[in-house]
Amino acid sequence: MTIRSILLHPDPRLKKRCDPVETIDDDMRVLIADMFETMYDAPGIGLAAPQVGILRRVIVMDCTKSDEEDSAPIAMINPEILSSSDEMNVHEEGCLSIPEEFNNVERPATVRVAYTDPEGMRQEIDCDGLLATCVQHEIDHLDGKLFIDYLGPVKRQMITGRMKKRKKEKAAARA
């Protein structure tokens, strides 16, 4: 398994709508294993394929809160939100492509999601709490949407400005 590089905002690949997965082959199984490795290493509770530069509809998540709880890794291929609650929930969100920036985002409190699992079986689950927030954040990545797109233009531009500066500093440190 390989830890892949995570793209940092702003990057045009993070703004693209991803294509559906047509076949679950060995390359797809390697991608999913690498995405889990990359997410746990970061560390994060979710990761979408475009964040590692692969423009396909694949996400991984593990919203287990502490080491005491059993881990609950979930990989979703071609996930779709079937229904969303009218009730909304505000949760502080972060993003591995926008490190060190956190903001409250309002989203439906519960969602029903259909997806194909890595064994090729179509599944449906009801998500609430942190899992509901995380799955909506990850599916947004597949549609080229970032959590900062829910913020006002001033906050969004401030975060993008800080990220541009940090990316320049990182590139200069590597040179």
Residue positions annotated with a catalytic role: 138
Which residue of the chain is nearest ligand K1U when measured via CB? 44
- Told to check if 18 binds Zn ion by CB under 5 A, we report no
Strands (DSSP E) contained in 9-145 are: 46-48, 58-61, 74-84, 88-93, 103-108, 111-116, 122-127
Segment lying near ligand K1U (by CB under 6 A), choices 37-45, 74-82, 154-162, 167-175:
37-45
- Told to check if 146 binds ligand K1U by CB under 6 A, we report no
How far is residue 88's CA from residue 107's CA, in Å, rounded to a whole number?
5
Conformational region of residue 12, where left means phi above 0, alpha means psi within -120 to 50, and beta covers everything else: alpha
- Told to check if 58 binds Zn ion by CB under 5 A, we report no
Q: How far is the CB of 52 from Zn ion (least distance, A)?
A: 12
- Told to check if 134 binds Zn ion by CB under 5 A, we report no
# of chain residues touching Zn ion (CB under 5 A): 1
- Told to check if 62 binds ligand K1U by CB under 6 A, we report no
How far is residue 158's CA from residue 51's CA, in Å, rounded to a whole number?
21
- Told to check if 109 binds Zn ion by CB under 5 A, we report no
- Told to check if 39 binds Zn ion by CB under 5 A, we report no
Instruction: Write the burial class of residue 154 (CB in 10 Å: 0-12 exposed, 13-18 middle, 19+ buried).
Output: exposed
Sign of CA dihedral 25, 35, 141, 12: negative
- Told to check if 95 binds Zn ion by CB under 5 A, we report yes
Q: How far is the CB of 92 from ligand K1U (least distance, A)?
A: 7
Strands (DSSP E) contained in 16-162 are: 46-48, 58-61, 74-84, 88-93, 103-108, 111-116, 122-127
- Told to check if 95 binds ligand K1U by CB under 6 A, we report yes
- Complex with Zn ion: residue 6 or 28, whichever CB lies closer: 6
Segment lying near ligand K1U (by CB under 6 A), choices 18-26, 67-75, 109-117, 136-144:
136-144
Binding positions for ligand K1U, rule: CB under 6 A:
43-48, 93-97, 133-134, 137-138, 141
